[in-house]
Amino acid sequence: MIKNKHLLFILPSVLTSSLAISATCSFDSTKSCQLITDILQDKASNGLNYYASTNYDHRMSGEINVYNTSKVIKKADGKLTLLADLINTGYWLSGEIMTRANLNSPPFNSPIPSEVWTTKATKHGYLEVNINLPVCTKSIDGLCQQGTNPSTYNRGLWPAIWMMPTYDSNWPQNGEIDIMEAYPQNTAFNVTTATLHFNGNAPQCGGWDCRGIGYPLESHQFPQLAYQSPHTWGFEWEADPNSQNGGYILTGYIDNVKTWGPLKTDTLPADGAQALQRGFNDPNGGYYLIVNLAVGGPYAGAPNSKMQAASMQINSVKFYKVNSSAPDACNPPINFAAYYSLDKRNINLKWQAPADSTNVLAYKVKDWQKRVLWQDNKLTWTDTSLPGTSGKFTYYLSSVCSNGVSQDIQYDVIIPDTPQCASPTDIQATYSNDKKAISLGWSSPVLSLPVTSYQVRDWQQRVLWQGNSLNWTDHSLPGTPGKFTYFINAVCSNLNSNMVQKDVFIN
């Protein structure tokens, strides 16, 4: 974008970015990555999200939309839908998110504060954004509602994943990084581009104009319509160890395949080297992220006259710290959990892939005498040989890697005399911008009878919902601030766990 312009369980992921687990990078097997922040899912230490939607009029870039927080819909699983709706001829409302500072102040006017995220978090990082590119969802003739419209009905949509510097008042003094823009006018809907913007003129820039048209990084063409399946855009930045001017090395990826770079910012023409150096090394913060759905403008052109609404899905936004070499050790599995059957004759073990490990080919489970009971590449196994009595049952688990076998990890499962239905753990809550919905999420108990479902109750402990998913959204809120109390419990066949109280405060 141009600134001026019975034993069946579902165990949720226990890994969170706060654990900073390392593994081989998906985009480069010679490097290891630590997930530091899941921008859509994680909360900062102050309880704030790492992003916010805006009420921002950005028509200075030529688009014909105004951003509005009502056009960003958060689903129960944390994924986002960006909407674009025609209000009247030449005027649309649409959605965007940013990770900038002070988004709850003019001109951005987000209704809630948010935590800041910028590239300053690390000198060598990787940002990964997975989205479904936008499509027309409503048209005058009804074809978009039916999903039978020609691809040309999407004309005029301008989706983008881009970055602006913390000091963004005098654009583009500190540069702009367009990781992805899609649907350039006069092309099929299988083309995306990436561009840098900075002051000055040079033949390497489009029309010699580094500021407006910009410095092109790549033009990517998918073999099919780009919106037919989700795609992942990645952006890697690394402080250039050979630069005398604070330069960086930049690389772009699509679906884990390098599409441009590595580009040394010191080699950029005009003011590019200086602009990117200022942007990355600003002591107040580096580049922040914007994901938006614009309409119209010089890039996309006028929207199709039949289109009345469109939507775009943001599935994940993750920030990784990158290490230059891949792991060389075979590490054991982690994050064990166990469930036992009511007759005490079965134990189901579950685990997760190891951290910072070479390629794992299989896992081994051994008994207390370290005799191999099972070996396979699955992340779960059920022991059906138990005597049907209470007691302690010891297992040893290890990884089998391409370069050897990890150490054994002992895991003890204690079956009590009276089987217990344990309560769900790690209960989290978020609420919508309009204060009319609260989304609750939780994790399965670690040691319990098999959980068949979960219940959510209101403050009077009346059951509001029962199901086997690990999240639920209450859409019955009045749209006002206040304290909202829920009680959540697990159901194990005909037994209920203790209820866990969760108070949600809406400001």
One domain, residues 461 and 430? yes
Residue 432: the pLDDT is: 82
Q: What is the DSSP letter of 296?
A: B
Residue 60's pLDDT band, with cuts at 50, 70 and 90, is confident
Residue 12: the pLDDT is: 30
Q: Which pairing describes strands 65-67 and 52-53: parallel, antiparallel, or unpaired?
A: unpaired
One domain, residues 177 and 243? yes
pLDDT of 6 > 70? The answer is no
Residue 286: the pLDDT is: 96
The tens digit of pLDDT for each residue in 390-410 reads 999 999 999 999 889 999 999
One domain, residues 296 and 369? no
Q: What is the mean pLDDT of residues 70-89?
A: 96
Measured from the Cβ of residue 500, the count of other Cβ atoms closer than 10 Å reads 15
Q: Are 462 and 475 in contact (CB under 8 A)?
A: no
The overall average pLDDT reported for the chain is 91
Q: Is 208 inside any structural domain?
A: yes
Measured from the Cβ of residue 283, the count of other Cβ atoms closer than 10 Å reads 7
Q: What is the mean pLDDT of residues 206-217?
A: 96
One domain, residues 365 and 477? no
pLDDT of 142 > 60? The answer is yes
292 class by beta-carbon count within 10 Å (0-12 exposed, 13-18 middle, 19+ buried): buried
One domain, residues 301 and 233? yes
One domain, residues 272 and 342? no
Q: Is 176 inside any structural domain?
A: yes
Amino acid identity, position 281: N
One domain, residues 290 and 181? yes
Q: Which of 2-11, 65-74, 215-224 has the lowest mean pLDDT?
A: 2-11
Residue 457: the pLDDT is: 97
One domain, residues 358 and 497? no
- Number of structural domains the chain divides into: 3
Q: What is the mean pLDDT of residues 361-368?
A: 95
Residue 462: the pLDDT is: 95
Q: What is the mean pLDDT of residues 269-278?
A: 97
Structure-token match 């990784």, residue found: 320
Q: What is the mean pLDDT of residues 230-245?
A: 95
Q: Which pairing describes strands 307-323 and 28-38: parallel, antiparallel, or unpaired?
A: antiparallel
Q: Is 344 inside any structural domain?
A: yes
Of 361, 384, 415, which residue is a domain's last? 415
Measured from the Cβ of residue 30, the count of other Cβ atoms closer than 10 Å reads 9
One domain, residues 87 and 183? yes
Task: Provide the residue range defining the domain that includes 470.
Answer: 425-506
The tens digit of pLDDT for each residue in 11-37 reads 333 333 334 567 889 999 889 999 999
Q: Is 285 inside any structural domain?
A: yes
Domain containing 313 — which CATH number? Answer: 2.60.120.200
Q: What is the mean pLDDT of residues 376-401?
A: 94
One domain, residues 346 and 213? no
Residue 256: the pLDDT is: 96
Q: What is the mean pLDDT of residues 72-93?
A: 96
Cα–Cα distance, 505 to 507 (Å, whole number): 6
Of 415, 442, 475, which residue is a domain's last? 415
Of 415, 447, 471, which residue is a domain's last? 415
One domain, residues 236 and 195? yes
Residue 430's pLDDT band, with cuts at 50, 70 and 90, is confident
Domain containing 493 — which CATH number? Answer: 2.60.40.10
Residue 380's pLDDT band, with cuts at 50, 70 and 90, is very high
Q: Is 8 inside any structural domain?
A: no
Q: Is 10 inside any structural domain?
A: no
Residue 4's pLDDT band, with cuts at 50, 70 and 90, is very low
Residue 391: the pLDDT is: 92
Q: Is 14 inside any structural domain?
A: no
Residue 1: the pLDDT is: 58
One domain, residues 27 and 153? yes
| Sequence-ordered list of residues with C-beta below 8 angstroms from that of 266, at least 6 positions apart, any chain | 240, 243, 245, 247, 273
Q: What is the mean pLDDT of residues 228-241?
A: 96
Q: Is 457 inside any structural domain?
A: yes
